[in-house]
Chain A
C-alpha cells in the first residue's frame, strides 16, 4: 500500500463522523435543540414580565444564571491548558484531544456570555456596559477579559483547524452539499500545505499560544475578583483568584474526559484516543482534585477560626443550615469519591475516570458556582434583613438547562462539520496511520 493510500486510510475514521454521524447523534441533537427552544420560550416570557418571574429578589439578587456563568467560565480554561500550556512545554500526548478542548472553551465562553445576557433585566441596554462602563469596576474588567479571551480562543481554535478544513475540502468536497463545500473552501484560506504556508501557520499559532495563557489566567482571576472586591462573607478573601484558576483547570480537564469518552465510544476512535491520554489526564485530574481540596480547606479554615459575625452566619448555613446537604455532597461527591475512584486499582480505568469526571463536574457547578453565590447573599448584612431566601423558579431552571444544552449542542454541531481530532497534527506526530500512532504512544 502506497504512502498516500495509507494516509487516506488513516484519515477515513476521523472524517467518517462528518458524513454519517448516525441516528443516535441526530436524536441527541434533536433533544438538545428542543431543550434550547424551551429555554428561549421561557426567556421570552422573562423579557415580557421582567426578572420578577425568577426567584431573585433585592437581597439574593444572583441565582442560577450567575452560578452557571461562573461554571461556564471555569470549564473554558481547558482549551488553553490542554492545548497551549502543554504545547509550550513540548508535550505531544495531548494532540488528539486538543481540538476537543479548544471547542469546549469556545462553546463555554459563548454560554457564559449568554447567561450574563439572560441575567440582565434589560438586555436591550447591553451596549451601555461598553458606553458607560467605568474602568474602576471589576465588572468592566470581566467584560474586557472575557471578550479578549473569547476572541483569542476562537482565533486559537481556528488556526490549527485550517489544514483540516483543507483536508475536508479535498476529501469531502465531492460528497457534501455545495454550500458546505463553499464553507470548506472559504475557511481553508487556500491551504496547499506548502512550506511557506506551514511556516506562517506555525508562527501565528506560536504567537497565540504564548498570548492566550495569561489571558486565560486573567479571565479566571478577574471573575473571582468580582466577588473578592466586596466585603461580603465568603467573598472577602485573597485566595479566591488562585482558587478559581485551580478549580477551572479541574473542571476543564473533567469536561474534556467526559466528551472524550463519549466521542471515543460513539465514533470508534479507540485508535486515536488511547489509554495513554486517559492515563495522563487521570493523573492530572487526581493532582488537580487534591489541589482543589487543599484550596477548599484553606478557604474555609480562616473564617471558621476567626468566626466573625457574618462569617458565622455563612458557615452555619453551609455546615448545618439550609445549604448543608449541597455542601457536604460537594465535599464527598467532588473530592472524596473521585479521589477514591482514581486511586483504587479496580476503578482506575476509563469508566472509573469518566464517572469521577462527571461527579467533579456536577460538584463544581454546586460548590464553585451555586454555593459561592447564593449562601453569601442569603447572609443578612443589614440589621433589618433576615436570612435571605432563594428558590429558583421553573423559568430559571428551563433557561439554565437550555444554556447547558446549548453548550453541548454547539460542541456537537461543530464536530458535525469539522473533525474532532486534529488530523494533520496526529498524522504528523505519529507517522502515517492512527494505528502506528497508538503503538508509538504506548511504547
Chain B
C-alpha cells in the first residue's frame, strides 16, 4: 500500500461496493422495465403454456387472443384456446404445408416455415415457423421472421418475433404489402449460447399483387400542371444566374479600370520624360 493513502483499502472496498451496486442495478432495471406477466399467472393451465405468445404476437402488440381477452374485461372466462382468433388462412396439412428450404444447425435444430394456402396482399396472415430437433418439437425457442426486400439496397426487413410453444410452433401476424408477385420470407432462430443459428426460407405467391396506390379522380385544370412549377422556379434561378453573371462582370470592369489607370500613368510618365 502506498504511504500517504491510509484509507486506500477502505476506499477500494467502497468502490467495489459501488461498482457492484451499479452492476446489480444494471441487471435488475431491465427486468423491472420488462412486461410483468401478471395476466399469464392467472391463465388456465391449458393456455398458460403458450407464454407471452398467448396474447402477444410481439410485445406489446396484441394478437387476436389478446384482443379478445382485452374485450372480455381481462378475463379468461369463456375464452378457448382459439380465443378470438379470426379466420386466419388455414395451413394445409397436419401442421401446415412446409415450404422452402430449411437449414440445420450444429445441434440438429431445424426451422421450417409454415405457409397458409393463400396469401392475399394487405390481409392479415398467420406466419408460422416449426422448430424441431431430431424430429422432435423444440419448446421456448425465440424465432425471428424477416422479409427479403429491395428498398434502394437489398436486405432483410424485420417482421417480428415469437417463441415456440410445446408443439415447436412460433407464430406472428403478418400483413404482406409487397408490390411484387411473390415474397421471400425467412424464419430464423437466433444464435444463442449453446444453440447456433438455423433458418428456414420460403417464397410464396401473393394474391392481388400490383401497385399499392390506386388511381383516384383528380381535379383537372387545363394548362395547369407540374410544368408551371418548373417554369417559375426556372425563372427565379435564371435571375440568380444573371445576378451572379453581373457580379462577375464587376471583376472584368475592375481589371479594365486598373489597366486604364496604368496606361494613363505610363502615358503621363512618357509625356513627362519628353
Contacts and interface: CB of A to CB of B under 8 A. Distances in A.
Interface string B249-262: 11101110110000
Given A194-B254, A197-B253, A215-B236, A189 B248 contact: yes
A228 to B, nearest CB: 17
Contact of A201 (B226, B233, B250, B258): B250
Main secondary structure of the interface of A (DSSP, over half): helix
Contacts of A135: 226, 229
Contact of B240 (A128, A151, A190, A191): A151
B255 A207 contact: no
Interface string A163-207: 000000000000000000000000001111010110011011101
Contacts of B27: none
A215 B250 CA distance: 26
A207 B239 contact: yes
Given A135-B226, A148-B237, A190 B243 contact: no
A189 B242 contact: no
B5 interface: no
B247 A196 contact: no
A201 B251 CA distance: 11
A144 B255 CA distance: 37
A122 to B, nearest CB: 10
The range of chain A's interface size is 20 to 34
Nearest to A208: B243
A159 B240 contact: no
A338 B269 CA distance: 68
A190 B239 contact: no
A148 B257 CA distance: 34
Interface in A203-257: 203-205, 207-208, 211, 215
B243 to A, nearest CB: 4
Nearest to B233: A144
Interface in A142-159: 144, 148, 151-152, 155, 158-159
A289 to B, nearest CB: 31
Contacts of B255: 190
A190 B236 contact: no
Contact of A197 (B152, B237, B242, B257): B257
A190 B247 contact: no
Interface in A264-281: none
Interface of B: 152, 226, 229, 233, 236-237, 239-240, 242-244, 246-251, 253-255, 257-258
8 contacts: A128-B152, A141-B229, A148-B237, A155-B243, A189-B247, A190-B250, A197-B250, A215-B236
